[in-house]
Structure 1
């Protein structure tokens, strides 16, 4: 360095008092300070003597001083005091402030005590040479001392480390050695890298010995290993060269395989690249006849290129051979296939990149663009059609940072310095993330750094934490989210792993740098240091959508504060991450039924450098649509892929009623699961349900009373019996179901006792019974429409209806109870009904939707039968009558067949609107009212029976005219109420009037008329009308 003041030299002058004695042995090669040629000159002699070293200071007018000092001629005659040696020990330069910067000459060293008490020179602080240059403020600086012999040696199990070996270096000392420090100077760098215990490195020190072990070393572990240790008051240095051969996987060839059409491409090029090491390798291609070989040197690697001028006549395998003395050759082969006439091949394709002609069943490869590592591959299918393009290109900058992070994790480098450096550079590379491979490597780098920070418990600086949060914000950006789908197909757990890494790094901020806050579009963080004594609860809020408030009670934090310990609390909100996590939920939550509102909250508490996982935290999530469940991300679920779980968390309404409050007893990543298929609890809907059920129960009681009064009058034939029997049993089932449901919702809210269990089972059974009796009615109508002349057995049909209406629902309800009750998935939380989170509710929804679908088909068939004759042949008056008949059929059959329950699909699909829920509640909770009106009171037979019973009037005659197109088939005159009640329909000859006695009426099964030619499909109209009138 250039110094304004005169330089100084400290000299050691050795005087021999008395006779000269033989000196002690000097340090061997490899010691700190140099070899023997750099020591003081000493002479041997006989007799007794005393060796004395005198240190003097010399000043020079400039910086040119003699490197070697010669003894004066008179020194030999100055017996008995002989000057036997003269050597420079210390170089010092004095700066303008009067401070001396002093460094030792080879063979001399500062004492360990002085090194620990003095200041290192700024220019020498990061060269890993212990106690090299020191700064002194007093006018007369200290001087370096002569080193004694090295008190130990460094042994290596094998200088040449083979693949799979464990590298072992051991320090053996004759003196007590302390404070060993290991370093590695790699082949491609002049910098020394500090070594520590890590994924591959193991360090130990015991009773004067120190050892280093490296498992599975690669070429990145080749170089010079250095150890510094303290002994005899000095800091010593020993070094050892280690060589590691290349492994086969470290030799890259391009392409892996090649198929070529010689007519289109007469020549081709192959490459073989390998990293530079401290071993000398010779590379060669075989065969190489008619080819040119060239060696290209790149930073840290070499590539041997083979330019084949002409296609070989047959399929040929080219082999790249790497040889080094004393090692087995490394071989990497490339198979070249010749495409001949008649072979199936994929044609050239220049749509995105240049794909040459490739033989069927082979993979074509092209190199990645500039600054990208890897290859782009495309399979040629067996039929000669190109397959999809597979991009395996990774940004070289991101890849280099990932390799650095992996080496840091393995044990190379100091985490407190390297982690911030890698994060700073990674934040810059996040801007160029453009492929799934880039995203995977970037996230993997963050995960590796998080593992390192967690292992060594290092603290992040504010700038490093800001870089991490900036990376996270860019990763969660919607422009990058399209890459997540492709990346997750390769690595399903990447979202969960990244969340865990961000959790780990976010809580690692150095306490002295708090409070700290960060805000961006996707990431919000607040960190605060709480000093004892705690004044109250810890509270923070985040301006998110929905709004979020967090509170940790004082009583939850007090046990963590002891002996004056400060507590660091960090709140981190990640938006859009929930959509990038795997769609996994623990059994019972149902991943298809719930979604998150778009944010994940991470709460961390640190005290004494330790992360706490158990503490009560209260979170208020602003009002959102849907029923909310408080959950956290459990990284251990689904074979460590992760999933949502609600263990240890509960949800309740907040004090103001405008938010959902989550109370959890542990700390991790929280969120809420929102039901996609329900609207939030609405008192209006609850009131409508209860009112509708009450009205339905009253209407069904009236319906049963009416049937009790008119049963004999209305049931006069088998068809009427079947219809009214099904309707009666349907009313009984629906009455029981509505009653039990109302009891469960009004009198047993939120209970989970045996009565609630019985209520859920009976509701399940009776509601299913209602629908199966609806199905029985629909099947009977379908039979009458399709098989007009077919007679039905009363006892057989009634038995089948009972089996269908009662045994089938009982089977569904019993199996559901047996399957889901032992698992704890039978009852819905807070209700006496089937659990909607799992699959229990589907044992009700599935049969209901199936029955509604079948009944809908029967209704459609009925409408078509009603429309077919009139719309095709009749005049406008008949068309209007037919349309009125269709409308009447729809009004009657829709509630009777339970078609309105099909609106349940709309409530599941309509996530944003509550209208389908209101319509569903109004129509289906009041179904008993519709059954009373359309199934009972609107029936003319019932009306006449009631009129006869209460009014005692004679029923007038009624005429029924039947027409087919413009042809009037006949007129039936009914003169007796008894005959009219049993009449289904009758037909006379054209223009004639007949009286049909009861014995000849067949309820739409046997038609009386002029003969087969007079039958017409329009006659079925009265048959259908007679079924539901």
Structure 2
């Protein structure tokens, strides 16, 4: 079977209009309708039709010759009826404030009023009873009781309102008791609302003490709130408009964010009016609106107890304009466009362009207001931006103007750069190797970012070869080459760059081949020839070029004979002694090379000694001949080489004629591989791009040194050559990277290995400064080392180790590096504390290199009387250090029993700049078992108390101040202790009256405070001088107590001065002892404690309470020293004034003339008073004023220390 169902029931609501023309039916119908109960059920069995309500809506009555139609309670005329018909007088039941309750004449579409919409009235009323906290708790009995009673009264009262539906109590708040509640109804008239409120009062128990005058009602949904414009920009003129059919001119505006009512000002204007006697309109106009004006605004219209409120939030947008911040333009007459667009599309009325600057380069704008973009195009040529103003910046401004007045602009910085006119050295440059030349490049533009020189291949010339000087007329850059090599042959570019604009001038340089004087190998260096004998002389170079070579002696010149031997070319001349008439004689022979450019170079001299033949004893075909005792040198290339040894290519061999044989006296030969490296190093220092070649060369040097270490150990000269190479290369770099430093130390590690030590010993007997030169070279490389990381790489080799760090924000508080060499059984460490690190600039690097074997060769003399027996550590900082700098080091103690350790440093200036050990400035701080600790010796002088400066450590001034300080403080401490003992012994006998009691109280406290302060000062100096690195906590504590008790000394001296003044001036006034003691101790200890605590509290959290180099108040960072200096000097001035008053009292004239004896007595009294008051009132501290200023004369420091250390 199939189930069937009837269609779902549909419900319709039907409004039926019934009209009665007889006005007499009005009241009976109203009475009848009032008696009915709704809904009324229909009688149909099939479909139900229920009558929900029957109400009278519209009543028309004849009035005179007119018909007046009015709406009953809860109904109102539609707005269009009000606009089309004339209104009559107000009907009693018309809604509050409305002027359209009654119309004249029948409306053309029938007299039909419409039901008003529901509104929710947010109301409040005050009960004049005490507020109880239970009224905040909705579940409390009191809350429920109040709510029930009040809602019952509200229902009975407000049920007379048209369209009344609901009333609800929403809460209570203090002020006696304020009841808040909501009434849902149609908008009633004020009169009807007052009647309803009266009904509420009558239906509420009088114990609630309801205040009738406190009824308030706020309604919403009645006001039309509009904002013009919808999108608001800063600077716009904005209108906020409120419209309401309630007729009232009592309208207020409120800005929520500023929590204030809006008043008429220069930027805010409020205007309220009633239009056509039908609508209230209030307009708030905000001129030149800012983002601070954004937020929520409330428009509130008030009529009787009703408030009609509407609120809206406005957002104020900044005018964001997209355009480039800056542009660089070259004045080459090419079109340039500046583009400016608004990020938000708005109603723009105009986009304007203007410019500001020294030069005027106009253009033409193209603007599209709809898209909010504008383009400004101009052409700049050389006449508009002349060379003198190259690099001038012109500001182009694109300004957007909105329809409502907002203006926003964007500045575009356009830098105009003319193509700089460069003038370069006009004459052709043609030089030969070894000669100098310079190229001068002059620009008519003085404004540039960079000047550089390049080769035609784009290789940048090392900056040490050129200098640039700027002047008002332009700029001059000069490239200077002191020794030209063939690498300098080519075209050179002088480049001026400003922003992205480049000006280039070129110059060709021709460098003709010509051997350099050191590259011409001569043989012999010195020769002895019998008067009738002969000798071959030769000059050799490494390449075969077309040179004209002659040998010259005195005024004679001889053509040389050319001989090619592999890669070496030699020019020879056979000198016949019989060809000259002078014998015996000493002559200098030179070989003279002339190239195709007619430039010439002369070799080093070959010394010729013509002697009688009978004196010749030693003869050798290679070495030559000589008389007994004769010492000669020969280049190793032309010397006798022991069998089996590789022929060296560098250095010299020294021979001595002993008997009839030549003996080797000194061997300075350099092996071929090392000599080649030395020649390359010399060439590199003359190269135009030496900084680019240096990394590769250092890598090759490191690898080659390891490969040829056998040759290095065989030839002491090779070892010296490597030292010379490192010395040469250390002068090249301005910056060294980690890889370069690693290669340098790899080379050093090889030449300092233990197998090399015997070679060093031989070498040291010949040249004692080579080890010092090596150390100096490593330090130069260390100072040039740069790293981006705060922690350097750690390099560990058998014979050398390196550690380092970069000073950066948040870097470690201390620098401490440890070095351990297990092969040498040596260790050591170096430490620099935070105070010293704090004096370094950010980006400074600290590098420490340690050597275990350098101690064996770094001796002051060949005998090695003063020998280091620990690690040699060198620490460098790559920035200049202007303040005293202190380093602590610890070494393994390897001193034999009975030996006395010394802490020394290598002073490169000793022994005629060959270097030596120096102990000045450093000392042994501790010998503990197998360790020796060294630190610098740096004492603290007394004058530091009031001076921002500290004497330079080790200076004569520092030593003198230290001696005065410590002697004076020791005497003072003993004297003050004795003073306190004496005071304690005689206290009862000298304090019998108030005056003497207070005087001795002040003296005793001055002595006690000064004693503690002086002891604290010595303790602080000891902390600083003997316990380095500084113990920060101890230093802060010492500084605090020194500050506190020296201030106490001054304030007790002030108390004593004021007491003297009080007794001299206020003779007849006598305060009680308790008052005087309270004032004295408050001044003496209270004020210093407050100042000291505030000072340490304000500065110590930032760790700038104490100085970096002393335990005393900071000056450089926080000027905390003023917390001592200012109170001290003020007190000194006050006490000086009191002293003057005392003297004036003594000099007061007596009646009659003074006899001579009385005058002498007065003079004695004055002297006695000054003598007593000067130390008691601290007048000598006035000299501290002279030491407060930085750089003050040393005399003031000495006087200040001398006077006050003995106080």
TM category (shorter chain) comes to 0.3 to 0.5
The TM-score with structure 2 as length reference comes to 0.35
> Which is bigger in relative contact order (C-alpha 8 A, separation at least 6)?
1
Q: Larger radius of gyration, structure 1 or 2?
A: 2
